A and B are shown apart, each in its own frame.
Chain A
């Protein structure tokens, strides 16, 4: 397997009147070709911010403080504004949150695909363009006539498929799907995930799936990363994580999953996710951790490797 994307020591902070907020804190991971990586965590854990940071789309008051992102060995932070722009969509594409509002309400779907192609220097003839758009829409399971509709004429699932069609129009190497099924109902969620899976097979690209639905992750991804308070606290193949999670937070997440074959009470995680601008000292998870000791309250655990593509940040791992 070859590595397509590599994130190293990525740090993002937001200026806040009450001080600096560390939204993404020293995150490193790598992504193999054809791999499906999940990034899970509670809201506010920094997972969506990281998705934007990879595309270098953090806006003030936020800023990228440091770290490198390599796509096929090319360092993105070294690129100029025009270089990173050309790389968006063509190299790394984003499938936005399914919040119903990601498509421009005053443009037809067709125009929203065509402008993406045009701004990347792809200007086919009118009939070629029509063919290409029809092909894209078919790939995501939409009828070609959808091209002539406006977003408000589409259902939630159709909109999200249209977004996927846009995301794959330049055959990117990596797709970052940022909670692509939030705000969709369960049946539609499933269809959208199937569409994503099919698209990935057709294109042969890698996918980063950002979300908080552990059940969905378990079904879809090859490897799972868990974020807590801006840090990537554990990464491991999905099978490993479900059976032998190393970090207590991951373990808590797994045991909060409802299971069909094991009857019993569902377990939640005690306490609330911490405020990023007011993190506890030491390991940020210690106030909610059953195994916390003095060391956890004082010393921030380092990220340690446990074999290829596996890491965890816990003193007990």
Chain B
């Protein structure tokens, strides 16, 4: 990958962000009405019952996005705000800023998703490689049917089942939330353990499903790779079977897995949103769920935009790191 390719790839990232912002801006307009405006007016009509400041918010909104201003002016002031990650105030929780609410939820999702995605990728890839390896223990063949079946199930559905079995029937693990009611978030050992206990079931429902997908993909790639000429030649070199397995088969078969990883992130995230909702896990997904319930457009737009940017950034990093793993696509001198 040359400098120009890197620039191009970063350009794609900018385009993704721009598209996401534009989508946020134009889609509500397409329906003819302005849902944000009507929701704001509705909230303001309730007046003192909610928060007094909401009237000011309506005024500001009208001034910037009011129908009296030309569309392009509205558009540019929106893009300007979004670039600074300013998504305005939450309509339903008025004095709070959308960006603050998102910042509170993000660590939970990043921790849950980061851990589960990495674990399932590593376990699944190694498992898939072993499943294709003729010298692997026989009993491993029995893992195939459950892996296949789990792989076909949506995350949150497995979550429901796990929740019923391990939190309701056999109350080993907490059923709801990110930490116990009344626990004060602090960096104490007790609190960390509490958080970990709450994360087990949501994490498990993602890991069990996602591992199967990685395992099946890897197995297919391994079978293809093991038929390559360089594996035959490696065997004729009298290499130990561990060397052939790790440095010749696995090392090459993992490359398409990493490409697939970038594409899978979006799907994993979509699934994880629902898992959070089911378990009431205090991350981005639950925040989004609340925003939808309360018809809080600014919050919905803020969450969606943040997630798209975060994922865009993740795939960008992945694409930039990939050449380090595959010398055929290398940073050349030009």
Chain A residues in contact with chain B, CB under 8 A? Answer: 52, 55, 57, 60, 85-90, 93-94, 96-97, 99, 101-107, 115-116, 119-120, 150, 152, 163, 166
Which B residues, 224 to 238, have Cβ-Cβ distances below 8 Å to chain A? 228-230, 232-238
Q: Of B229, B233, B238, which contacts A86 at CB under 8 A?
A: B238
Query: Any chain A CB within 8 A of the CB of B2?
Result: no
Q: Known contacts A107-B247, A115-B247; is A102 also within 8 Å of B237 by CB?
A: no
Q: How many A-B residue contacts, CB cutoff 8 Å? A: 77
B239 within 8 Å of A (CB atoms) = yes
Q: Please report the C-alpha to C-alpha distance between residue A93 and residue B238 in the assembled complex, in whole angstroms.
A: 9
State which residues 299-334 of B face A: CB under 8 Å. 325-328
Q: Are A104 and B230 in contact (CB under 8 A)?
A: yes
**Which residues of chain B have C-beta atoms less than 8 A from A103's C-beta?**
230, 233
- Which B residues are CB-close (under 8 A) to A150? 327-328
Q: Kindly supply a per-residue 1/0 record for chain B positions 39-81, scoring 1 wherever the CB is within 8 Å of any chain A CB and 0 otherwise.
A: 0000000000000000000000000000000000000000000
Complexed CA–CA distance, A98 and B74 (Å): 64
Name the residue on A nearest B255 (C-beta): A106
Q: Check A163–B229 contact: CB distance below 8 A.
A: no
B328 A97 Cβ-Cβ under 8 A: no
B248 within 8 A of A: yes
Chain A residues, Cβ within 8 Å of B248: 104
B: residues with CB less than 8 A from A are: 134, 228-230, 232-240, 243, 247-248, 251-252, 255, 325-328
- How near does chain B come to A71, taking the closest CB pair, in angstroms? 13
Known: A105-B252, A152-B328. A120 touches B238 (CB 8 A): yes
Q: 17 new A-B pairs (CB below 8 Å) besides A102-B229, A107-B251?
A: A55-B236, A57-B235, A57-B236, A88-B235, A88-B238, A93-B237, A94-B233, A94-B236, A96-B236, A104-B247, A105-B230, A106-B251, A107-B247, A115-B239, A115-B247, A116-B238, A116-B239
Indicate which residue in A52, A90, A93, A106 contacts B252 across the interface (CB closer than 8 Å).
A106
Known: A106-B251, A107-B247, A150-B328. A101 touches B228 (CB 8 A): yes
Whether A106 contacts B326 in the complex (CB less than 8 A), given A96-B232, A115-B243, comes out as yes
B247 to chain A, nearest CB (A): 7
Q: Given A152-B327, A152-B328, A102 and B239 touching (CB < 8 A)? A: no
Most B-side CB within 10 Å, residue of A86, A87, A97, A106: A106
Q: Contact: B252 with A101, CB < 8 Å?
A: no
CA distance A105 to B232 in the complex (A): 14
Select from chain B the residue with minimum beta-carbon distance to A96. B233
A74 to B155, CA, bound (A): 59
Instruction: Find the residue from B134, B236, B243, B328 having the highest chain A CB count within 10 A.
Output: B236
In the assembly, what is the distance between CA of A309 and CA of B89, in Å?
A: 94
CB distance from A155 to the nearest CB of B (A): 15
Q: In the bound complex, what is the Cα–Cα distance between A257 and B91 (angstroms)? A: 88
Query: Which residue on chain B has the smallest CB distance to residue A108?
Result: B327
Task: Report if A85-B240 is in contact (Cβ < 8 Å); known contacts: A150-B327, A152-B328.
Answer: yes
Chain A residue, CB-CB nearest to B248? A104
Known: A115-B243, A115-B247. A96 touches B229 (CB 8 A): yes
Q: How far is the CB of B227 from chain A (nearest CB, A)?
A: 9
Find B238's partner among A52, A89, A97 (CB 8 Å cutoff). A89
Which residues of B are found within 8 Å of A99, using beta-carbon distances? 229
Q: Of the candidates B134, B229, B238, B328, which one forms a contact with A87 in the assembled complex, judged by CB atoms under 8 Å apart?
A: B238
A55 to B232, CA, bound (A): 11
CB neighbours of A102 from chain B (8 A): 229-230, 232-233
B326 to chain A, nearest CB (A): 6
Distance A163 CA – B233 CA, assembled complex (angstroms): 9
Whether A119 lies near B240 (C-beta < 8 A) is yes
Contacts of A52 in B (CB 8 A): 232
| Residues of chain B within 8 A of A93, CB atoms compared | 236-237
